[in-house]
A = this chain, B = another copy of it.
Amino acid sequence: MEQIEQKLILITNDDGYQAQGIGVLAELMLELGEVVIVAPDSARSGAACAITCTQAITLQRHPEMERKGLSVYACSGSPVDCVKLALEQVCPRRPDLIVSGINHGDNASCSIHYSGTMGAVIEGCMKAIPSIGFSLRTLKHHCDFDPYRQTITRIAAFVLEKGLPEEICLNVNFPEVEHLAGTRICRMGRGRWVQEWIPANNPRGMNAFWLTGRFLNLEPHSEDTDYWALDHGFAAITPIRLDMTAYDLMGDLEELSE
């Protein structure tokens, strides 16, 4: 047991350090090691891998939220800033694992590109630390996370023990159910957001719009996608690669080289 208790786990999210999901994640990770939370001081939904270049980032400790094995910091930057700051300025040693979430809202299919939860995971992975994002398909601020606790602990313990290959991280998504139908290893489903804007009232006569939208699943019948898994009550584990090169297209483009 002693060896396991000495593992250091960094937790972050994009819903802010006070969100319900990060509290649940901290509780679960405390069973596996020492925990440091460095999370945004307020919600940063849709922050993707954004970094803050134009202002200084503040970091504030919250001892009122701490207990044995848990330290808590809020940061004025993005989820990626949180990971960068945690690794250089907060963590007492190199973390063995980074977990992000539990996000209120799924990050399946193309939504991974917009996700601050997964931005933090991609950053951790870039720093060569095994990193996992957890997200729940829900729009509620307060959710019942009980159906997912065991699966989260199992995945985190697996990665703590075995690690992940270089430049690979995990995107884990849960459906909102009372009992999971199971857990599946998935690929990113193909899809996109459509009908994304509604006009905003604007007393000064400017053109203004709110971002909204409807997800269009481009392959609703493919049973190996993350989206299909969620639609059918399964947790979806999708391994994600940092290298986005389309290797198979490099040959076709050769006529552009000179």
Query: Which residues of A are interface residues toward B (Cβ below 8 A)?
Result: 43, 45-54, 56-60, 77-78, 80-81, 84-85, 88-89, 110, 112-114, 116, 119, 122-123, 126-128, 154-155, 158, 165, 167-168, 182-185, 187-188, 190, 192-193, 195-197, 200, 202, 206-211, 237-247, 249-250, 253-258
Bound-complex Cα distance A158 to B253 (A): 10
* A202 CA / B207 CA spacing, docked (Å): 38
Which residue of B is nearest A52, CB measured?
B211
Extra contacts, 7 of them, besides A58-B206, A85-B209 (Cβ < 8 A), are: A48-B49, A48-B119, A50-B114, A59-B208, A60-B206, A77-B211, A184-B257
State whether A256 touches B207 (Cβ < 8 A).
Answer: no
Instruction: Tell me how far the C-beta of A242 lies from the nearest C-beta in chain B, rounded to whole angstroms.
Output: 7
In the complex the two chains form, is B246's CB within 8 Å of A241's CB?
yes
| Nearest CB of B to A36, in Å | 15
